[in-house]
Each structure stands twice: as structure tokens, then as C-alpha cells.
Amino acid sequence: MKLYDSKQAPNPRRARIFLAEKGIALPTEQVDIMAMQHKTAEYTAINPLQRMPALVLDDGTVITESIAICRYFEVVQPEPPLFGVGPKEIALVEMWNRRAEINFFANVAAVFRHLHPAMKELEVPQVPAYAEAMRPRALWFLQFLDGELATREFVASDRFSVADITTLVAVDFLKPARLTMPEGLAHVQRWHAAVSARPSAKA
């Protein structure tokens, strides 16, 4: 089994934090996105979509998409549960992971991909007007989340889950996207300090 990982990119970090929370160590190969290594023929044979990360199982099966990799290990090693337990919590974790992805992470990524000079050769064409349209949506989500985190410890429930991992990675991606956390979000700040202090956040 081998994990193709990119230290600089946010999606592989989701898989790395998840694995750290599970206490799972894997052989890893680094793929340098800024050096376009994910566009080589060698990596394209592994993932034709040229996206990171990718997990190759012992039978040769390739699993791409960070959350699909996480889900593989959730089934193989259920403890500690990171996708919820029981129908209601499982649905709430899926809901909050998706809310964080669609309404926040994707919008932060859009600002980075469509405005940052470093992405000029990776996001073709860059559409700055799209980044500008998504910027207020990314920041709105943090306001919304602040009200939610007033009522519970973590993003989806009172248990740490993959929804916290997605949200943490997206918050930490504000800086490369040159976005600033709005002031006064006391509950988001409390939550961010707590999840950043977990050893897995360094993964």
C-alpha cells in the first residue's frame, strides 16, 4: 500500500490528518504540484484526473479523492470513529463535511486558484471575476459557522470528525488565498485553537 502525497496542497493534508487521528502510518511518495509532477505520464497513469492524493492498495486498486481514502480507513479501522456513529450522527457529519467543502473550502480554493499568480500555469484560464464572486461567500460561511460553534464543541457534533478536518484545512488555506478571517468570531477562534493543538494538525 502506498500514499501519493503533496505536502503543499490542502486535500492531501485532509488525508494525512485523518490517518494521524487513526494512528495509521503508510509508505508515502511526495508529488510536487508546483513542479507539475502530478501532470507527468507516470502520475497520470495512477490518477487520470491529475489530482492529489492517491492511495494504491496492495492489489493495485487506486483510490483517489481524499475523502474516499479516509472512508477506506474508516471501514478498515473504525476506531476512533471520524464519520459519526449511528444514522443521525453519520448524516450530520456528511452534511457538515459537505457544507464545509461546498460553501467554504471550494470558495477559498476558488480565490486561490483564480487570483494567485502562482496558479497561472495550473489553473488555465484564471477567471478573477469568479474569485471575486466567491470571496464573500467564503467569509459568510465563517460567520454562519461561528453561530453553530456557539452551540457545540465541534463542527458536526460534540465529537471530533472529518468535518473538523475539512474545516481546519480550509481555514488554514485562507492565508495562501490571501483572505483574512473576519474579526469577532470567538467560537470559530476557540474551535480553531483546539483543533490546531491536536497532534494530528501537524500532519
Q: Give residues in contact with a second copy (CB under 8 A).
A: 48-49, 57, 61, 63-65, 67-69, 71-72, 75-76, 86-88, 90-92, 94-95, 98-99, 102-103, 125, 127, 129-130, 133, 144
Residue 137 or 198 having the CB closest to a second copy: 137
Nearer residue to a second copy within complex by CB, 144 or 175 = 144
Residue 22: its H or E element: helix 10-22
Burial class (CB in 10 A: 0-12, 13-18, 19+), 89: middle
Nearest distance in Å: CB 11, a second copy:
11
8 Å CB contact between 56 and 62:
yes
Nearer to a second copy (CB atom), residue 13 or residue 99:
99
Taking the least distance from each CB to a second copy, the nearer of 31 and 70 is 70
Nearer to a second copy among residue 60 and residue 184 (C-beta): 60
Q: Minimum distance between the CB of residue 186 and a second copy, rounded to whole angstroms?
A: 19
DSSP-based three-state secondary structure for 5: strand
**Minimum distance between the CB of residue 6 and a second copy, rounded to whole angstroms?**
17
First and final C-alpha spacing in the chain:
19
Enter the DSSP assignment of 177: T
- Judging by DSSP bridges, how do beta strands 62-64 and 2-5 pair with one another? unpaired
Q: How many CB atoms lie within 10 A of CB 101?
A: 18
Nearest approach in angstroms of CB 118 to a second copy is 18
Identity of the residue numbered 113: R
Least gap, CB of 24 to a second copy (angstroms): 13
- At how many degrees (to 10) do helices 186-196 and 162-172 cross? 100
